[in-house]
Amino acid sequence: MSEESWHEARLIPTSGINGAEEQERRATSALLAVLGAVKEFGRGFVKPFGAPAGSMECYIEVPFILGERRLYPDGLIKVSRGSKTWTALVEVKTGSNKLTPEQIESYLDIAREQSFDAVITISNEIPALPGQHPTKVDKRKLRKVDLHHVSWSRILADAVMQKEFRGVADPDQAWILGELIRYLEHRKSGALEFDDMGESWVSVRDAVTAGTLRPTDKGIAEVVARFDALLRFASLQLGRQLGTEVMPALSRKELADPALRAQGLTASLCQNGVLSGSIRVPDTVGDIVVTADLRASQVTCHVDVDAPREGRPTTRVNWLVRQLKTTPDSIRVESFVVRGRGSAAAELLSAVREDPRSLVDDSGREIKTFRIAATSTLGSKRGRGRGAFIDSVLDSIDTFYVDVLGSLRGWSAAPPRLRPIDSDAKGIDTEIPSSLSSTDYSSQDEPDHRPAVSAQNQVTPTDTVVDTTGDV
């Protein structure tokens, strides 16, 4: 028998998963077991929820009595450090199954009665904003118990970053974490990627195309929330590849009041047929701005780069072009000038390479900012695959980072240089720059080194200087 047909033994097998219940139980057990086994991964998971750094114990399907009902939360995490103990109940959903308010509220009641600290929910639902829970619950039940949510995409991204970039000290623990990653990446695990724009996508998309969409139309709130969730998923996916924390870029007002973000997207979609948002990658020159134009069926990614603050206009353009050596000719480049409204000039990169003056404003005003943009076809389908909205947005973001953002570096002024001194012409010692030498007396000068001035050689304002020729 050929070894090619042999199946390698796995710590967490995907075989034998029959139905959603078995899928959910196996995913819960695998995750909690690895959280307890891999110290770095476990600590990173519970730290954002307020847990102390300590020993971790994890359990599945712990029974509790609530009134006359016997309930079994999917899991329980307990972290102990000295006399302090932090405990959280865990509710897990896999596949397309969604969290329900009734179930979450029941576990909040159990946590309150047991004096537990939190309830953590895990599902494939991705909230539109960080810290937001995808399920609405009675806020009165959150007075003594915290409610947190984490998506499977977030867990997978954190696991990859911990293993591949942050590191795991123990080799055996690193292997265990790798087995969890392999399991979660398998389609049978139920830890799905973002794969649906929602039930209202088709009706909203068609209304945008027809120009009949109104802010009060049913389903627009779901589409807006799904778009922000897509940007969060794109950030997680890009961060997983780069090994860094990539996040959607939101203003302080939007973070403080999530309704402002939803209102802005709704107005933009109704008026212009456009959905837009930004993604921030650490240590890059700027945010990736993603604009999905449903009417034009185009998706554009762009980044704004500050131009050098010195040099002629063409010198500044050449500075940018040199960094885009491997960038496709089809990329669009725009220039913005000081005290100018809108773009001063715009050309394809191919034209700018041939003639840098094509980005120089006729008025000769100073170039302040460059914008580099890439436009591609926007898909319209609701799900995943060829011609899908989700895939076209994800592909455009990844391609833009590879072709443009990953190659750009910000401008910095060169340090000042000492001017060379011609010792032959000036007759001075070149070891000490003239700018650092002084002709004034110093308290450190020796008396013997001071030039002697005799009384007969001193000149007063009333003295008359007599020339040797005899003329006064």
Q: Which of 352, 354, 393 is nearest to 372 (CA)?
A: 352
- Give burial (CB, 10 Å; 0-12/13-18/19+) of 129: middle
Q: Which residues of the chain does CATH 3.40.1350 include?
A: 3-189
CA distance 278 to 238: 13
Q: How confident is the model at residue 3 (pLDDT cuts 50, 70, 90)?
A: low
Higher pLDDT, 472 or 327: 327
Query: Which one, of 296, 252, 259, lies nearest residue 274 by Cα?
Result: 296
Q: CA-to-CA distance for 468 and 472, rounded, in angstroms? A: 9
> Which range has the worst mean pLDDT, 75-89, 304-318, 392-406, 456-470?
456-470
The most distant pair of C-alpha atoms in the chain lies apart, rounded to whole Å, by 130
Number of Cβ within 10 Å of residue 82's Cβ equals 7
Residue-level pLDDT at 4: 60
Cβ(68)–Cβ(198) under 8 Å? no
Assigned token pair, 50: 């307020």
Q: What is the pLDDT of residue 208?
A: 95
Residue in the structure block whose two tokens are 């509790």: 64
Q: Which residue has the higher pLDDT, 435 or 181?
A: 181
Question: How confident is the model at residue 317, as a pLDDT?
Answer: 94
With a cut of 80, say whether residue 129 has pLDDT above it: no
Find the mean pLDDT for residues 94-111: 95
Average pLDDT score over residue span 342-349: 90
Model pLDDT for residues 387-442, shown as the tens digit of each residue: 999 999 999 999 999 999 999 999 888 788 888 776 555 555 555 444 444 444 44
pLDDT at residue 140 greater than cutoff 60: yes
Strand order, beta sheet including 298-306: 247-249, 274-280, 288-293, 298-306, 367-377, 332-337, 345-348
The span from the CA of 431 to the CA of 196, in Å, is 72
Residues ≥6 apart with Cβ < 8 Å to 383: 195, 196, 197, 390
Nearest of 375, 381, 382 to residue 397 by alpha carbon: 375
- The closest alpha carbon to 229, from 192, 202, 187, 204, belongs to 192
Residue 372's nearest CA partner among 344, 335, 325 is: 335
CA distance linking residue 218 with residue 200, whole number of Å: 8
Question: Chain-wide mean pLDDT for the chain?
Answer: 87
Minimal CA–CA distance to 330: which of 369, 297, 375? 375
- Interacting residues of 185 by C-beta distance below 8 A, sequence separation 6+: 156, 191
Is the pLDDT confidence value at 300 over 70? yes
DSSP state at residue 379 = P
3-state secondary structure of 214: coil
Number of other residues whose CB lies within 10 A of the CB of residue 211 = 9
Task: Give the residue ranges of DSSP H helices in 273-409.
Answer: 313-323, 349-354, 389-403
Q: Say if residue 327's pLDDT is above 90.
A: yes
Q: Which tens digits make up the pLDDT trace of 28-52? A: 999 999 999 999 999 999 999 999 9
115: region left, alpha or beta (phi > 0 left; psi from -120 to 50 alpha) = left
Is the model's pLDDT at 467 over the cut of 50?
Answer: no
CATH of 3-189, one of 1.10.10, 3.40.1350, 3.30.70, 1.25.10: 3.40.1350
Question: pLDDT band at 11, cuts 50/70/90?
Answer: confident
Per-residue pLDDT, 257: 85
Q: Is the pLDDT of residue 372 over 80?
A: yes
Token output for 5: 């047909």
* Per-residue confidence (pLDDT) for residue 442, from 0 to 100: 45
299 sits in which H/E element = strand 298-306
> Is the distance from CB of 87 to CB of 77 less than 8 angstroms?
yes
Token readout for 237 is 């996916």
pLDDT, position 457: 42
